[in-house]
Structure 1
Amino acid sequence: MRLSLRSMYGGLLLDLEKLTDSLYRYQTQIATGKKYQLPSDAPVEINYALKYRKALADVERYRASIREARSFLKTTEGALDDFKKLIQRAKTLALEGANDVQNPSTRKAIAAEIDGLIQEALALANTQHGDRYVFAGNRPAGYPEGEKPFMLEKETLPNGEIVERVVYHGGQEDLYAGYARGARLLEARNGEEALMASDLFGALIALKNTLAHDNVVDPAKEVEDIQTQIGRLDRVLNHILEERSDLGARLNHLDLKDQLYQELHTTLVGNLGEVEEVDYLEAITRLSARRTAYEAALKATAQTMGLSLVNFL
């Protein structure tokens, strides 16, 4: 088979173009750190990379939801811890008030401090995380001006006696938060079950009234009444501790889920790197080989291009 010089030149130029493209590809890989620049460069790898990136976006969204839920629960946890301290202080004051050495003046002073604890308990019940109330169940926000989930109401009876009670205006259902596909977590307990059912405010108001009235006619009856309120406070404390324990379990669940998602995130990043990121050692070795081949091809082409019939005359 006979080849013309034109066909030979065309073949040499085509080989040089292929080597040039190969050199450019490996140089670009080394410069960018990526195996491909266009979808057509590696369609299979691109498909895997898109799936990994979608999975990473999902995991990051799930972890963001977990962080927000955890922050909300930590705020609730702090409020419950403060409730525990408040109830313990109220019990201490009640025991002091039951002491025989107390007189009407000192008992009224204790009653005034109990009143301060009631106001503090009311503020804790209306604790907010951002603009959301943590003990308002499925109605964490959207209250009219001047209204909160827990409100202290006072009513004056015909005999002049003032009756106090705390009224709950929050949601009647618990609030759940979704943190992953098909998964949700109890985020906020409704205040009726979380606090009102404990008789927290009723016990504190009753203790204050008992101390303030100072039954000098029957001191033994007064001490008995104070002991009754101490028993109520014990039940309140047990209720708060149960709420705190349940919340701790939910926090542990979130921590475990976040750890699992973190490990999945690390795995997905590694998988994405395998299909996207270039192996520098391999790329440099191939670039060096292509450069050597390119230089050899240039020499061969130059020598071939210089040939003509005149050289043999």
Structure 2
Amino acid sequence: MRITYRMMTSKYSTNLNSISSDLDKLNTQVATGRKYARTSEDVSSAVKGYQIRRNLSKLEGYQDNIRHAEDFLTNSETTLGQVESSLAEATDKILQGMNGTQSEGDRKIIASELRMIQNQLLETLNTNTSGMYLFGGSNSEKPFAVVGGKLQFNGRNLDDLNEDTAVEKELVASLKQDSLYVDIGLGVSFDQTTGEVDRNTVFNYSTSGINFVGNGTNLTVISGETVSNNLYDLLGRIATEFEKTDGDYSFDKVDKLYGLFSENSLKTYQTTTEIGAKTQYLEFMTSRYETQNFNLQERQTKVEGVDAAYTYIAFQSQKVAYQAALQMGQSVVQQSVFDYMS
């Protein structure tokens, strides 16, 4: 069979295009580090890669949520430290006022200082960060306010929340459990009856202020008197006693009020401990997800990635072959008069 010039040039062009296509594919692999640029090139690997990428995306979302919760908890712990400092300062002032050497004028000065601490405490309890109140639960408004001289939490007078009835107990429980939640990969599920999120499947990262400020009243600490259990009003009651004249001032009442104040102050330290435990749990989850992330990225490299050394050598070899084919073309493709026309 006679091999014509047209057959030679056609075959040469086909082979050159094939070499060029392979060179371009290898060049893309070297540049991107991926086995394929389109799903159609390797459907099986592409499906596996998609699943891995989806899992990586979920992990990234969980890690973002954890960082947000950690920041919130850090701010909460710092602010609770300020509350503890205010309570410690108030304790010092109360003990100073209870000293028998203090005059009526001295006690009034101490009472004034206690009321200043009250104001500081109220401001601290309403601390806002990034548009969210640290101790307000899910409430977007200031959680604590003084109305008629009494402290309120989320619009409810704390003295009225005595938990004497089943209704009050349910109300107080809901206020104490009111919180901000975030998905950190615990498997979010919903209650089939109420449609609400199961709180055991999400992470509670905020603290409702009522948990450590206190609620309800005490009828036994001072005979014949109803005394507020919350720290703010209790501090004000002690200040009121210090403001009395020598004839009306009662050391015994202050002593009893101070005992109740000291007992209720412990709730702030308990809350700080709880926040620390939550932070430690988030650190554990962070470490766990970092390990998972590393393993998934390693698996992704095996599924989607190429052997860098092998691919680079193949690319250089293909590049040499392409250059050789171009040189060979000078012999295969004959020159014509059109090559000299400009």
Tell me: CA distance 1:281–1:242, structure 2 relative to 1, closer, same or farther (3 Å): same
Partner of 1:67: 67
Tell me: CA distance 1:294–1:31, structure 2 relative to 1, closer, same or farther (3 Å): same
For residue 11 of structure 1, report the CA deviation from its aligned partner.
5.3
1:176, 1:184 within 8 Å by CA — same for their partners in 2?
Answer: no
Cα distance in structure 2, aligned partners of 1:23 and 1:255: 48
CA RMSD of aligned residues (A): 2.7
The partner residue of 2:144 within 132, 136, 150 is: 150
Q: Does 1:203 align with 2:207?
A: no
Superposed CA offset, 1:71-123 (max 9, x none): 22222212211111111111111111111111011100000000001111111
Cα distance in structure 1, aligned partners of 2:28 and 2:248: 96
Cα distance in structure 1, aligned partners of 2:212 and 2:107: 31
Cα distance in structure 2, aligned partners of 1:44 and 1:115: 72
Cα distance in structure 2, aligned partners of 1:187 and 1:288: 56
The partner residue of 2:179 within 168, 175, 182 is: 175
| TM-score with structure 1 setting the length | 0.80
Partner of 1:36: 36
Cα distance in structure 2, aligned partners of 1:74 and 1:100: 42
Cα distance in structure 2, aligned partners of 1:68 and 1:77: 14
The partner residue of 1:192 within 179, 202, 210 is: 210
Tell me: CA distance 1:303–1:184, structure 2 relative to 1, closer, same or farther (3 Å): same
Give matches, 1:1-313, under 5 Å. Answer: 4-5=2-3, 9=8, 13-139=13-139, 141=140, 143=141, 148-154=142-148, 164-169=149-154, 172=175, 173-181=177-185, 182=188, 183-197=201-215, 199-214=230-245, 216-217=246-247, 222-294=250-322
Tell me: CA distance 1:213–1:21, structure 2 relative to 1, closer, same or farther (3 Å): same
Tell me: CA distance 1:292–1:74, structure 2 relative to 1, closer, same or farther (3 Å): closer
Secondary structure class of the residue paired with 2:150 = strand
For residue 138 of structure 1, report the CA deviation from its aligned partner.
3.0
Q: Mind listing any 5+ residue stretches in structure 1 that lack a counterpart?
A: 155-163, 307-313
For residue 295 of structure 1, report the CA deviation from its aligned partner.
5.8
Residues matched between the structures, number: 286
Superposed CA offset, 1:40-86 (max 9, x none): 22222222222222222211111111111122222221221111111
Cα distance in structure 2, aligned partners of 1:296 and 1:190: 76
Secondary structure class of the residue paired with 1:152 = strand
Which of the two has higher C-alpha Rg? 1
Cα distance in structure 1, aligned partners of 2:333 and 2:78: 85
Cα distance in structure 2, aligned partners of 1:60 and 1:241: 34
Q: Mind listing any 5+ residue stretches in structure 2 that lack a counterpart?
A: 156-173, 189-200, 216-228, 335-342
Partner of 1:311: none
2:184, 2:203 within 8 Å by CA — same for their partners in 1?
Answer: no
Cα distance in structure 1, aligned partners of 2:135 and 2:323: 76
Identity of aligned residues (%): 22
Q: What amino acid is the match of 1:42?
A: D
Cα distance in structure 1, aligned partners of 2:42 and 2:178: 51
